[in-house]
Structure 1
Amino acid sequence: MKLPIYGPRLRRIARNHFGWRSLRPGQFKPMRAVLRRKDALVVLPTGAGKSAIYQIPAVLLPGPTVVVSPLLALQQDQIAALNEHGDPKTRAVRVSSAETPAQQREAIAAIRNGEAEFLFITPEQLSDPERLAEVRALRPGLVAVDEAHCISAWGHDFRPDYLALGDMIKQIGRPPILALTATASPPVREDIIARLRLNKPEIHVSGLDRRNLFLEVAYCPDDNYRWRKLTTMLDQERRPGIIYVATRRAAEELAERLTDAGYPASFYHGGMAAGLREERHQAFSDDKVDIMVATSAFGMGIDKPNIRWVAHVALPDSPDSYFQEIGRAGRDGEPARALLLWRSEDEAIQRFFQGGSPSEEELQELAGELHKGPASKTALQKTTGLGPRKLGQYLNLLEQVGAVRPGAGHQLTVPARAPLPAAAAAAALAEYERQQTVVKSRTDMMRAFAQSRQCRTETLLAYFGEDLRKPCGHCDNCADGTAHEIAAAEAEGPFPVHSQVRHGEWGTGMVMNYEEERMTVLFDSVGYKTLSVPVVVEQNLLVPA
């Protein structure tokens, strides 16, 4: 079947089936890739219309579209939006733990009978062999993986259940895959491609510059100064807004302090009961809570357009987390503010969270269980006593060192010539340490962003591999003229931005940006490094790769 790939047809479908008068920048090229049956990875900011990239082409593609998404609340919002038109070509159904067995059967039947186009499903459902066979029988024409950064160990919302997705998609007939995320730095993108087994994917990164979002950073010598800066912002700005903190205890204490000071606030963190979390989430969505003090657990699924500001009262663990969190402000296109209030002590908290190496003994025991024969994750949990999250992370490490691989029927097997348990555990631990070196470098990059005198947006986008080419005009460094002075004084560096270079000790890397005789390079083995340009040139530290 020859599929139309030109703009007028896509725009007509957008208008007639979805009520959208036009396509947004960054949407058309990925849609064209979908219609050409090519794998694609799309990085677009929150609120830029990522869902439309699979929804509009799905009307033209033969076969239903399977949408894998990690959060039921997020799925429900998307399903409601699709079904409000009453159009069978855009009708969506869901198979999840929220539906009864009868409802699940009805959903599959609706897709089979052509009464619905979109099947929303979680990775946990696909891990059931019977469910996987049902989905395969539907002969899907496309699989869209939403929040694709969840599959990456580098991603701040890592989900172990996502790790088997590449194998699951292969088992349902390997239709084209569209991976979607609002934030993915180069290491995360490479991880997504490898783990989903994308085949020569088109990579589309665009629109990361949120022009309605003013970026501001202030160093706070003590907590009293930080409190005064925070309350000054609360007095100046409209609400609602989100305040991100580093720990659960900090969320509770700051919410109480704000409330006592006349700024009514609620708190949210991962240690709360699920029912209470859902209640707080809904209250914020319904404008019943103006100020939410939260850890990073208050994240995906917040589809609220009128958030006027996002404040951080601690240094985030990485630019990935920071970019995702500030992206929740100003989704309606109206002016919004992102304020980062940081102290040097914030880094110690992040180092604490990054501590705690895997147990080599537990890794060896797990590898030993795998050598006894094919086993499911459920069986391994029983025999090893490991929790689901730790088991997923351990299996991830063992898979990276060639000690385990997914088999038929969701059984895990040991490949031929795999290392023996002791060697596998040692190699897995070494891989973990390598990854921690990269993780530490990302925290270093967050501090560099906070201290930078360069355009904030330029610095942030360079981390994600996008070149802004000129100061943004909507950050504090641009507002006070500092960014423009630095941009005018900067000379061309010895290597083009985003070119590949090689270091004698650290191996290959990518040049990310230059600032005041310093250059940042992302190395495959050790993460982000900031180097002196004169030293690099004088000592010939880098050569083109």
Structure 2
Amino acid sequence: MKLPVYGPRLRKVARAHFGWPSLRPGQFKPMRAVLRRKDALVVLPTGAGKSAIYQIPAVLLPGPTVVVSPLLALQQDQITALNERDDPKIRAVRVSSAETPREQQEAIEELRTGRAEFLFITPEQLANPDRLAEVRSLKPGLVAVDEAHCISAWGHDFRPDYLALGDMIRELGSPPVLALTATASPPVRDDIINRLRLRDPEIHVSGLDRRNLFIEVAYCPDETYRWKRLTTLLDEGQRPGIVYVPTRRAAEELAERLTEAGYAAEYYHGGMKTGSREQRHEEFTDDQVDIMVATSAFGMGIDKPNIRWVVHMALPDSPDSYFQEIGRAGRDGEPGRVLLLWRAEDEGIQRFFTGGGPDEQELRGLAGALHKGRTTKTELQKITGLGPRRLGQYLALLEQVGAVRNGSRKLTVPAGAPMPAEAARAAVEEHERQQAVIRSRTDMMRAFAESRQCRTETLLAYFGEEIRRTCGHCDNCADGSAEAVNAVEEEGPFPIHSQVRHGEWGTGMVMGYEEDKMTVLFDTVGYKTLSVPVVVGQQLLAAA
């Protein structure tokens, strides 16, 4: 049987309805998966056109397309861009807390009558059983989950409200699901697939080599040197840019110091009032603020093409966070610069943030309440006294150890679930396992900072993508030190991305080689850097 030819149809829709003369690299294959009604997970860098992957096929699919997105501001940007075309085939509406009940009903009616194609909605709205039934009645042809890393406990933007999305989508009639994110390492990808309950998904990871960005890392022996490196970059005069710092206090203090030194800067962090955060976001977007000093809370939803540089004033918690944040530079394709200024003391800050585990007594009380038939989060909050975020994290742990099923309508205890005491112990152990992986990601961030290997090659190996060359746009490549190291990769005892087994740490994946060292991502303990001669001589690893 001859397969349909999708390319010409997709390109025709792109030109006729969106005004795009061609498709970008990395877009066609996942679009084809969508048209074949297959689930897919797509990892493309910021600015690479992820939205087009669901927008173009949606015109060819029956039924409306549901777009699940975490931020109202991000939704509004996408809705505005679609509706500016004044084309009923790609009209978008939204159902959220920002609309009145009447506006919400009008949006549903537009979709029902075919006058709109895209429904933008948050997980919180779908958690309402009545709303879920209403969306189901529309018979959606596709569900696109934007910023899909938010569903992952490994992701730095973990959102407990996303946990029930897999069950919600199933109740929508199990339409094909397209999960989209700008950054997802192997553990995050596995988490997305499991939590969204994707069915034999196609996985597309591409375009992570941002060739217009020059990647530079500098070790700073003291704070004076770190300040000088930052101001040297600012003196070059390119604007706008983002300075990432690890704490709220650091954001406020650095913004004040920069302003006093003649570099007008503002700060942004999660502790600010909502109105103030929105105002700062708008000011930066509208080029009223040239230098934004921010914590990791500033970023998701920024659709600004002309950011010329991103500076990190400390080691990020992981390559995941780092890659997500540097991806905001140079989205217009023009040259951009990313600079990491780090000190050994930075790791202590990240260790502090990852400290503090769950309370076993609180977990036991929560598991006990579930066994007594408490089925809603509202009930559980009243009984346990837990806040929404902590409750969500506890429920995620209990779900991972089989003690609860986080459905779209209610929480249930599955048959054969462990009793409360056993469930609490297992949840604590699961948290400790996760913390081992998280700590190992911090170790990988430091290894990246200290590496003499091609920076891009190191990052891409972490995310499961390879380039068989030096990138030419990082500090190590620029001074020639990366070339000799790169040639060693072919000589490793196991192929990159092959599965191996360790006697104590279990199964893992080979992520890359550097000189006489190899990095392996183990399922239970995270990333480990091993000596290749020792691995070979003592036969520490075997092919799995």
TM-score band by shorter chain is over 0.9
Following TM superposition, by how much is the alpha carbon of 1:101 offset from its aligned partner in structure 2, in angstroms? 0.5
Following TM superposition, by how much is the alpha carbon of 1:411 offset from its aligned partner in structure 2, in angstroms? 1.0
Q: Is the 8 A contact 1:5 1:32 kept in 2?
A: no
Q: Is the 8 A contact 1:265 1:293 kept in 2?
A: yes
Matches within 5 A, 1:93-492: 93-407=93-407, 410-488=409-487, 492=491
Following TM superposition, by how much is the alpha carbon of 1:310 offset from its aligned partner in structure 2, in angstroms? 0.2
Q: In the TM superposition, what whole-angstrom CA distance separates every residue of 1:299-339 from its partner, at most 9, and x where no partner exists?
A: 11100000000000010000000000000000000000000
Structure 1 residue 498 and structure 2 residue 497: aligned?
yes
Q: In the TM superposition, what whole-angstrom CA distance separates every residue of 1:213-241 from its partner, at most 9, and x where no partner exists?
A: 00000000100000000000111241000
Matched residue SS, 1:59? helix
Aligned to 1:519: 518
Amino acid in structure 2 at the alignment position of 1:414: V
Amino acid in structure 2 at the alignment position of 1:418: A
* Alignment partners' CA distance in 1, 2:331 and 2:4: 31
Q: Is the 8 A contact 2:123 2:162 kept in 1?
A: yes
Structure 1 residue 47 and structure 2 residue 40: aligned?
no
Structure 1 residues 480 and 287: CA distance shift in structure 2, 3 A: same
Structure 1 residues 5 and 368: CA distance shift in structure 2, 3 A: farther
Structure 1 residues 4 and 90: CA distance shift in structure 2, 3 A: farther
Q: Is the 8 A contact 1:139 1:173 kept in 2?
A: yes
Q: In the TM superposition, what whole-angstrom CA distance separates every residue of 1:26-59 from its partner, at most 9, and x where no partner exists?
A: 0000000000000000000000000000000000
Amino acid in structure 2 at the alignment position of 1:108: I
Q: TM-score, normalised by structure 2?
A: 0.99
* Alignment partners' CA distance in 1, 2:298 and 2:474: 25
Following TM superposition, by how much is the alpha carbon of 1:374 offset from its aligned partner in structure 2, in angstroms? 4.5
Q: Is the 8 A contact 1:3 1:36 kept in 2?
A: no
Structure 1 residue 80 and structure 2 residue 117: aligned?
no
Q: Is the 8 A contact 2:163 2:406 kept in 1?
A: no
* Alignment partners' CA distance in 1, 2:326 and 2:257: 23
Structure 1 residues 489 and 191: CA distance shift in structure 2, 3 A: closer
Q: Is the 8 A contact 2:213 2:330 kept in 1?
A: yes
* Alignment partners' CA distance in 1, 2:237 and 2:485: 30
Q: Is the 8 A contact 1:3 1:35 kept in 2?
A: no
Following TM superposition, by how much is the alpha carbon of 1:491 offset from its aligned partner in structure 2, in angstroms? 5.2
* Alignment partners' CA distance in 2, 1:161 and 1:498: 32
* Alignment partners' CA distance in 2, 1:39 and 1:413: 27
* Alignment partners' CA distance in 1, 2:132 and 2:49: 29
* Alignment partners' CA distance in 2, 1:3 and 1:365: 55
Following TM superposition, by how much is the alpha carbon of 1:5 offset from its aligned partner in structure 2, in angstroms? 4.3
* Alignment partners' CA distance in 2, 1:165 and 1:315: 32
Matched residue SS, 1:143? strand
* Alignment partners' CA distance in 1, 2:398 and 2:485: 46
Aligned to 1:9: 9
* Alignment partners' CA distance in 2, 1:276 and 1:73: 14
* Alignment partners' CA distance in 2, 1:127 and 1:379: 15
Matched residue SS, 1:208? coil
* Alignment partners' CA distance in 1, 2:240 and 2:290: 4
* Alignment partners' CA distance in 1, 2:406 and 2:206: 34
Following TM superposition, by how much is the alpha carbon of 1:406 offset from its aligned partner in structure 2, in angstroms? 2.8
Q: In the TM superposition, what whole-angstrom CA distance separates every residue of 1:153-190 from its partner, at most 9, and x where no partner exists?
A: 00111000000000000111110000000000000000
Q: Is the 8 A contact 1:374 1:411 kept in 2?
A: no
Following TM superposition, by how much is the alpha carbon of 1:487 offset from its aligned partner in structure 2, in angstroms? 2.0
Q: Which moved more, 1:191-200 or 1:379-388?
A: 379-388
Amino acid in structure 2 at the alignment position of 1:44: L
Q: In the TM superposition, what whole-angstrom CA distance separates every residue of 1:444-492 from its partner, at most 9, and x where no partner exists?
A: 0000000000000000010000011111000000000000122245551
Amino acid in structure 2 at the alignment position of 1:475: C
Amino acid in structure 2 at the alignment position of 1:464: F
* Alignment partners' CA distance in 2, 1:483 and 1:356: 39
* Alignment partners' CA distance in 1, 2:260 and 2:478: 34
Q: Is the 8 A contact 1:212 1:336 kept in 2?
A: yes
Q: Is the 8 A contact 2:489 2:512 kept in 1?
A: no
Following TM superposition, by how much is the alpha carbon of 1:425 offset from its aligned partner in structure 2, in angstroms? 0.4
Matched residue SS, 2:304? coil
Q: Which moved more, 1:168-177 or 1:2-11?
A: 2-11
* Alignment partners' CA distance in 2, 1:94 and 1:490: 49
Aligned to 1:35: 35
* Alignment partners' CA distance in 1, 2:5 and 2:100: 39
Following TM superposition, by how much is the alpha carbon of 1:23 offset from its aligned partner in structure 2, in angstroms? 0.2
Following TM superposition, by how much is the alpha carbon of 1:3 offset from its aligned partner in structure 2, in angstroms? 9.5
Amino acid in structure 2 at the alignment position of 1:106: E
Q: Is the 8 A contact 1:237 1:308 kept in 2?
A: no
* Alignment partners' CA distance in 1, 2:181 and 2:44: 7
Following TM superposition, by how much is the alpha carbon of 1:9 offset from its aligned partner in structure 2, in angstroms? 1.1
Q: Is the 8 A contact 1:405 1:412 kept in 2?
A: yes
Q: Which moved more, 1:192-201 or 1:369-378?
A: 369-378
Q: TM-score, normalised by structure 1?
A: 0.99
* Alignment partners' CA distance in 2, 1:7 and 1:258: 51
Matched residue SS, 1:472? coil
Aligned to 1:62: 62
Q: Is the 8 A contact 2:520 2:527 kept in 1?
A: yes
* Alignment partners' CA distance in 2, 1:410 and 1:382: 18
Q: Is the 8 A contact 1:66 1:119 kept in 2?
A: yes
Q: Is the 8 A contact 1:454 1:483 kept in 2?
A: yes
Following TM superposition, by how much is the alpha carbon of 1:416 offset from its aligned partner in structure 2, in angstroms? 1.2
* Alignment partners' CA distance in 1, 2:486 and 2:141: 48
Amino acid in structure 2 at the alignment position of 1:152: S
Matched residue SS, 1:322? helix
* Alignment partners' CA distance in 1, 2:63 and 2:4: 16
Q: Is the 8 A contact 2:488 2:513 kept in 1?
A: no
Aligned to 1:543: 542
Amino acid in structure 1 at the alignment position of 2:84: E
Q: In the TM superposition, what whole-angstrom CA distance separates every residue of 1:392-449 from its partner, at most 9, and x where no partner exists?
A: 0000000000100034x62101111111111110100000000000000000000000
Aligned length: 543
Q: In the TM superposition, what whole-angstrom CA distance separates every residue of 1:505-527 from its partner, at most 9, and x where no partner exists?
A: 00000000000100000000100
* Alignment partners' CA distance in 2, 1:5 and 1:537: 49
Amino acid in structure 2 at the alignment position of 1:465: G
Q: Is the 8 A contact 2:151 2:158 kept in 1?
A: yes
Gap regions ≥5 residues in structure 2? none
